[in-house]
Structure 1
């Protein structure tokens, strides 16, 4: 976990202008949900990490695949071993840039679009993901809901279980950041 935070912080510090503060979150909440004819599948984690550089708009997220917790242990086992192959692909990540300017000194809710690379199951895909940045008395939070198609990331669903697993997974991401002062 510390290793991933260090990598994310290093990535942003390279792009960071001297003297600019950036924002970090070590407990990003991520949930997934899929509905299928026979069974809904849901899981969540609160161990994702993220960094945001408001000077450049750079934004990065990372999450360990094994950190997702399912209500049924068999679902969790199949998710890790058969579909996401978490031993081979232990993390999912997103690195991108927020397109819209955000005034972090003014309270408000700012709709944004973030364009970058979503890396799931070892397959990188360029995506533009909509979200919301909320500023409330100096606290910065980000929220997003988006879909991930299994086929886009070479996640195979055997025909034997296609009624149990949807072809698209709904993702919800929520992060509340703290300021990291740069020297």
Structure 2
């Protein structure tokens, strides 16, 4: 009897994995923008990992915070050492699930939202991120825009530079996902 249950469990696991449709990238792009009257700050990370399970709608994103590139090396140094503290908090992540029922066998562009946990600077908070999913015969692309409040993630800005760094940061993601 135990053998039959074990075989059934393995069969169910293997069939779930076989029917899972995983799409991923190791070269997704995440950028952010801070606009203030005194200074605009922008940075881009082109080494973001993302995976989407089309069977479940689950999505996971992971990035190394020290891989953001700034036009000014001093800004990059301040970002990593003073604000995001990338030595102590090296990664940013989002794990969630797409809210809408999507037929991933159908090509087209779909408005979607994903509810999940965004973790930055060692702080995890529930977040809903809206975006566009483009399903084509060659893969899936996902683009999203959202905002991050620095105070929500305990990112302190010294009073001496508070006029140069926005309290609310605009974040943009662009992922081209291929079948794994």
Whether TM exceeds 0.5 here: the answer is yes
Q: Counterparts of 1:3-82 in structure 2 under 5 Å?
A: 17-19=16-18, 20-82=20-82
Does the 8 Å CA contact 2:132/2:143 hold for their aligned counterparts?
A: yes
Alignment partners' CA distance in 2, 1:40 and 1:164: 8
Alignment partners' CA distance in 1, 2:17 and 2:70: 43
Alignment partners' CA distance in 2, 1:136 and 1:179: 12
Equivalent residue, structure 2, for 1:128:
128
Equivalent residue, structure 1, for 2:92:
92
Q: CA deviation at 1:18?
A: 2.6
Alignment partners' CA distance in 1, 2:99 and 2:169: 25
Alignment partners' CA distance in 2, 1:119 and 1:97: 15
Q: Counterparts of 1:89-168 in structure 2 under 5 Å?
A: 89-168=89-168
Write the deviation string for residues 106-150 of structure 1: whole angstroms up to 9, x where unpaired: 221111110000000000000111011101224200000000000
Q: CA deviation at 1:37?
A: 1.7
Q: Which runs of 5+ in 1 are unaligned?
A: 1-13
Does the 8 Å CA contact 2:135/2:141 hold for their aligned counterparts?
A: yes
Does the 8 Å CA contact 2:32/2:169 hold for their aligned counterparts?
A: yes
Does the 8 Å CA contact 1:147/1:169 hold for their aligned counterparts?
A: yes
Alignment partners' CA distance in 1, 2:17 and 2:77: 45
SS at match of 2:151: helix
Write the deviation string for residues 10-52 of structure 1: whole angstroms up to 9, x where unpaired: xxxx9x9231221111101011001012100000011000111
Does the 8 Å CA contact 2:138/2:178 hold for their aligned counterparts?
A: no
Alignment partners' CA distance in 2, 1:18 and 1:47: 27
Alignment partners' CA distance in 2, 1:164 and 1:32: 15
TM-score of the pair, normalised by structure 1: 0.88
Alignment partners' CA distance in 1, 2:50 and 2:139: 15
Aligned pairs, number: 166
Question: Aligned Cα RMSD in Å?
Answer: 1.3
Larger radius of gyration: 2
